[in-house]
Structure 1
Amino acid sequence: MSVTLADVAARAGVSAATVSRVLNGNYPVAGATRTRVLRAVEELEYVVNGPASALAAATSDLVGVLVNDVADPFFGIMASAVQSEMSPVPGGGGGAGRADGPGKLAVVCNTGGSPERELTYLTLLQRQRAAAVVLTGGTVEDAAHTGALAARLRRLEAAGTRVVLCGRPPMDAGDAGPHPLTVAFDNRGGARRLTDHLLSLGHRSLGYLAGPAARTTTRHRLEGHRAALSAAGLGGDAERLTVHGAYDRASGYDGARELLWREPSLTAILAANDTVALGVCAALRERGLRIPEDISVTGFDDLPFAVDAMPALTTVRLPLHDAGAKAGRLALGREEGPPGGVTTFRGDLMVRDSTGAPR
């Protein structure tokens, strides 16, 4: 039996009119009352006026794009590419991959990596009857968050909002769904190719700076790295030579110092991403170590600055713009998803000057 407005009102201890005012946002409501109503909506998984809400989403000009950090080029490139698919066509004519008309308004929601803020933005976007929502980047591997996220995506889809995942793996939410269209990256394969490259150069003492623990991107890249080590018979020391940290330069700097303290004879350090690799390079230069003569360094993602780093950074190139553009087209229904609903982009090895044979 479907949940009604009266059910929400009873749970929140308010009138049905108050619930309607909170959900429509067209009348001032006390903060504590609003909080009670929204909590009841979440607990009961109430979908606002299903058919009418679906019609509103179908005609809405709003598209939400969720990113972990809008200042990080990894997310900025994808968000920009999504937005490029929403922009109006000059003169109203149909452009490549775009429909005629004024386009859509893409609103970038910066979560700061907070699972709670991600859920809050999804609730707000549902209340605004967004036409589509694109969630970019990895997610936290936590059962409670996964369940809460699945519930919100179910409500969005039930209300007529298209949901697309971009740069994160498909959701495993069981037969009850949701099963959003997904544009994923082969992080495992890219990380394995990167480690295989260093092994082929003769490196046998490799340190790894992983991203935050319990993040899907972190786990997949670490799994690819360790698969390559295990195949080469070098997996026994992998745990000791792995340091977790944020996806930023400071973590690269601190992590490199920690790895060298654990194992002074390291000949290579693999960084979680290109930004972390910059911090690694700074720490090595501070210690008077040359790259790659004394120690090789790799990144991941191939962000725009990677080729201009000194030395140019060996990394894995992810097609961030292509993935974001595809997610934008899927979000607007201008491109059909593949069978199974998942498109996976390969990560290509880019060999540059920051890696070489060990001395």
Structure 2
Amino acid sequence: MGAQRRKQEENAAGQGTDPGENGRSATIRDVAVRAGVSAATVSRVLADNYPVAPKTRQRVLRAVQELNFVVNTHARALAGVRTETVAFVLHDVRGPSFTEAAYGVEREANRRGRLCLICSTEGDQERELAFVKLMREQRASAVILIGGVRDDEQYRARYTEIAHSLHAAGSRLVLCGRPPLGPDVPATVVEYDNEGGAYAITTHLLANGHRRILYLGGALTHTTSQARLAGYHRALDDFGVEPDPSLIEHGEFTRNSGYERTRARLAKSGARPFTAIFAETDMVAAGALTALDEGGVAVPGEISLVGYDDIELAGDLRPRLTTVHVPYEEMGRTAVRLALDLKEGRSRAADQHVVLGTHVVVRQSVGRRRPG
């Protein structure tokens, strides 16, 4: 069996596709000779599926680079060696925060020798389920889902079943920015301090004298919105401010939603009932800022404005947006790392739930409100 495995590993690596020495494609044996190891050892380093001493691994990787060796995936397929994948499922590839997370997933998957597949569901849960099923059949190393959900009994039952199904197939369900399904469910969870970030940004407004804060949120049933709204309410309570239901609006996480809701508020006659706006995402804040600018309302001179996510756009707006930083790229990297470490025996199931920190990034969009 040992000799057969070594032969399979050598065949699976095949030969490189770039020219090597003497004008021909470098082979795994060329790499082995250059590194002073066996062809099987080279294959194990490339596949990252067997323990290899760090110094040996370094010699092999240096030889691979010197010879411009590239693994022949066709040879691997003919040898029956499966290229392991990591699947990343998101609502919309155009969403800046999800793009950051996707970058983190792709970078870590590449570092660990996995291919990264990305699926955009456009918010269609059936499409999400279909893709997850396909990845289970393909025995992906991990299936990563990101974004808030409607956390009800039906959702929990369905995804608990999916987690067990993936586990049985040798895969791993990873939930990013979603609540855990339960202590006995085989799923990795990577969260961030969503409520804490909302509490901190609301406190920042309150500390600057604002007591009438318009809240432009997402759907009330959405877990992301629920946590951020909870942080908003907790901050008001700590400052002894009675929440006003008329200052809380629910809509979509889009720039247009922020624009239309703010414009509608400005169009109402009478005294303006708020001095600050907490937009639940930076994209909503960008829309609100445009509406304020068109309405001749100075930011932060007349109205202060904050967002949430700290996407790249936040620093490009004028005034630059004060917001909550969410470590989306780190979340993506952590999702891959935890799932693969568990699969490779480098971590325990008990270590598969991580909560990342958030913090306020103070820029130029908040002004101090004087009493009276």
TM-score normalized by the length of structure 2:
0.72
Other structure's SS at 1:236 match: coil
> What do the CA deviations read for 1:71-98 (whole angstroms, capped 9, x no partner)?
11111110111111122xxxxxxxxxx4
Q: How do 1:267-278 and structure 2 match up within 5 A?
A: 267-278=275-286
Indicate the SS of the match to 1:302. Answer: coil
Q: How does 1:220-235 map to 2 (within 5 A)?
A: 220-235=227-242
| Distance apart, 1:124 and its partner CA | 1.6
Letter of the structure 2 residue corresponding to residue 311 of structure 1: P
1:212 is displaced (CA, Å) by 2.0
CA 1:283–1:344 in 2, change beyond 3 Å: closer, same or farther?
same
Match of 2:249 among 236, 243, 254: 243
Which amino acid is the alignment partner of residue 71 of structure 1?
A: R
In the alignment, what sits opposite 2:88?
Answer: 65
Deviation, structure 1 residue 236: 3.4
Give the match for residue 55 of structure 1. none
Q: 1:348 aligns with which of 333, 353, 359?
A: 359
Q: 1:257 aligns with which of 263, 269, 292?
A: 263
Instruction: Give the drift of 1:146.
Output: 2.5
Partner of 1:161: 171
**Who is 1:309 aligned against?**
317
Higher Cα Rg, which structure: 2
User: 1:111 matched to which residue of 2?
Assistant: 121
Q: Could you say if the C-alpha distance between residues 274 and 295 of structure 1 is closer, same or farther in structure 2, counting changes exceeding 3 Å?
A: same
| 1:207 partner SS | strand
- Report the counterpart of residue 32 of structure 1 in structure 2: none
Distance 2:310 2:223 in 1: 19
Alignment of structure 1 residues 1-359 onto 2, 5 Å: 60-87=83-110, 98-99=111-112, 103-172=113-182, 177-237=184-244, 239-260=245-266, 261=268, 264-333=272-341, 336=347, 339=350, 341-358=352-369
Letter in 1 for 2:140: A
1:3-32 deviation digits (Å, cap 9, x = unpaired): xxxxxxxxxxxxxxxxxxxxxxxxxxxxxx
Conserved 8 A contact 2:83-2:115: no
Q: Distance in 2 between matches of 1:278 and 1:326?
A: 29
The alignment yields a C-alpha RMSD, in angstroms, of 2.0
Distance in 1 of aligned mates of 2:281 and 2:190: 19
Q: What CA distance in whole angstroms lies between the structure 1 residues aligned with 2:286 and 2:189?
A: 30
Unpaired stretches in structure 1, ≥5 consecutive residues: 1-57, 88-97
Identity %: 39
Q: Deviation string for 1:224-252 (max 9, x for gaps)?
A: 01111122222331x22111111110110
**Kept after mapping to 2: 8 A contact 1:315/1:351:** yes
Change (3 A) 1:59 1:336: farther
The separation in 2 between residues aligned to 1:354 and 1:322, in whole angstroms, is 26
**Measured at CA, do residues 328 and 358 of structure 1 come closer, stay the same or move farther in structure 2, by a change above 3 Å?**
same
In the alignment of these two chains, the number of paired residues is: 285
Contact 1:226-1:235 within 8 A present in 2 as well: no
Tell me the distance in 2 between the aligned counterparts of 1:337 and 1:195.
37
Q: Which moved more, 1:265-274 or 1:148-157?
A: 148-157
Deviation, structure 1 residue 179: 4.0
Deviation, 1:200, is 0.4
Determine helix, strand or coil for the equivalent of 1:182. Answer: strand
Q: Which runs of 5+ in 2 are unaligned?
A: 1-80
Shift of 1:60: 4.9
Contact 1:60/1:131 (8 A) holds in 2: no
Taking structure 1 as the reference length, the TM-score comes to: 0.75
Bigger mean CA offset, 330-339 vs 310-319 = 330-339
What is the CA-CA distance between 1:299 and the residue it aligns to? Answer: 0.5
- Counterparts of 2:331 and 2:365 in 1: how far apart (Å)? 27
8 A Cα contact 1:64 1:108, kept in partner: yes
For residues 336 and 291 of structure 1, the distance between their equivalents in structure 2, rounded to whole angstroms, comes to 49
- Answer yes or no: is the 8 Å Cα contact 1:330–1:337 preserved in 2: no
Assess if the C-alpha contact under 8 Å between 1:181 and 1:337 holds in 2: no
C-alpha displacement of 1:274: 0.5
Q: Quick check: 1:168–1:185 contact (8 Å CA) kept in 2?
A: no
